[in-house]
Structure 1
């Protein structure tokens, strides 16, 4: 007898994956929802997942890596994860997903929108996993995603007031203004990120005021945010926020009556257009 096909939908805590979960709930009754919990997520993310479970009428499986950040941090000899070496994504997101799926034939529904079809989400190379893109297939863009969330009555996670990407509180893809937002909204989490960074610098014998260009030459990530430590970044709070507010004003001027989340996204993208890891941030 053939093994039944599993249908799965990953939820990152971001707007797109959450909208896809809501969108698919009626058409695929047997859908299994999952969330890769690194243990370093924002409190707003956990709160939003609880609300989403009520909307879906189903639990969202929490997939925890068998080894946490501290373990992999030591394995990689104290090197922070970076765009060039995303060991956090591989070991704390992708591995738990594929272990949870196993060898069963599986259809994975990925929340890439119709207006961003050039982006890549989690697409497994395992032969038993087939990826589908309902938003692309049905022509659902950013406005469509927002409408789905409004119609469901769930809206956006609270962190969208200051940050537009889900993921770990110490994610290296954060923009400068988002780090400042973390320091003000969750100072205890910011201090944890500072402590991790300071340990890296101390172990490497790098002076926090040194020229961090040396780290690029060695291919090693010494700081969470490019070119400066979090302590240095925080000392530039006024400068960063002034620039951010000016960029927000330009974004609003370009398109009148722009919703906060769109103006924030436009402003942050202008400040830093680095694409995040879509396994974490859809």
Structure 2
């Protein structure tokens, strides 16, 4: 399919008072969709700013992928930080780990750094939600930040994203090779249990660091786990890990049997087809 895009905003277009220029900013997560969007937009917007909200808890493969992308884009990706570390924030929140119900890590280490970076400037924020995804994602409530969805506007779906990455030579994120489906922190609470198993197998040192966070908090002394009801200490037991692997293999086989039309791009890339709806934090995973 021919890839094209309708741009409604020109580069550096003055705002209504004619005094400021619009900034064009694309946030990278270390994932395939935002990387493909950066490639797709490279020659369409002059002066595009590429930023990465570095939590300090990323996988080494994520940093490697960003460096690879910088080489293709021919420009540096700005690393934004909030000025405090995850551990500083964890102490501020009483040692209570973030979860899908307590997403303070997203708020304080992703969203706030982005809005601080933009400040009061007029900004178009480019977001890599695909045309085959049914979700809105993060849209700033600040009136000076406008969200733009080029992939959705241009009908770019999963197989197109894979093709963009392959044709550019950037390829897919290296962590996909060992079975991780998402970018983001190595202890991301949105990980599937099979991904925890793979983290244990591929990066046991990161697994141990994640496990060390599971200790009584200062608020009520309760222990919070990354996997809700199961501790990483229990999960890493050989019998439990084998059970998780077997359950995952069975679920994958059921999904393969249900799918009739698997995109060719998925086969060529050696990847499982990604369903249109993904659970997780948008700004971390795209």
- TM bin, normalised by shorter chain, reads 0.7 to 0.9
Relative to structure 1, the CA distance from residue 33 to residue 261 in structure 2 (aligned partners, 3 Å threshold; closer, same or farther) is farther
Contact 2:158 2:274 in 1 (8 A): no
Residue in structure 2 matched with residue 153 of structure 1 by the alignment: 169
Deviation, structure 1 residue 115? 0.7
Deviation above 6 Å: which 4+ runs of structure 1? none
Identify which range, 132-141 or 118-127, moves more after superposition: 118-127
* Residue 265 (structure 1) shift: 4.6
Q: Does the 8 Å CA contact 1:177/1:240 hold for their aligned counterparts?
A: yes
Match 1:121 to one of 137, 141, 148: 137
Determine if contact 1:164/1:261 at 8 Å carries over to the other structure: no
In the TM superposition, residue 86 of structure 1 has moved relative to its aligned partner by: 0.3
Normalized against structure 1, the TM-score is what? Answer: 0.86
Per-residue CA deviations over 1:236-263 (Å, capped at 9, x if unaligned) read: 1010011112223334454578537642
State how 1:203-242 maps to structure 2 within 5 Å.
204-206=220-222, 222-235=224-237, 236-242=240-246
Q: Secondary structure at the match of 1:189?
A: helix
CA RMSD, Structure 1 to Structure 2 (Å): 2.1
Note the 1:239-250 alignment, pairs <5 A.
Answer: 239-250=243-254
Long gaps (5+) in structure 2: 1-17
Q: What corresponds to 1:138 in structure 2? A: 154
Cα displacement (A) at 1:203: 7.9
CA contact (8 A) 2:94 2:219 kept: no
Q: 2:54 aligns with which of 22, 34, 37?
A: 37
Equivalence map 1:233-272=2 (5 Å): 233-235=235-237, 236-253=240-257, 254=259, 259=267, 262-263=271-272, 265=274
Aligned length: 261
What CA distance in whole angstroms lies between the structure 1 residues aligned with 2:274 and 2:84? 33
Deviation at 1:111, TM superposition (A): 0.6
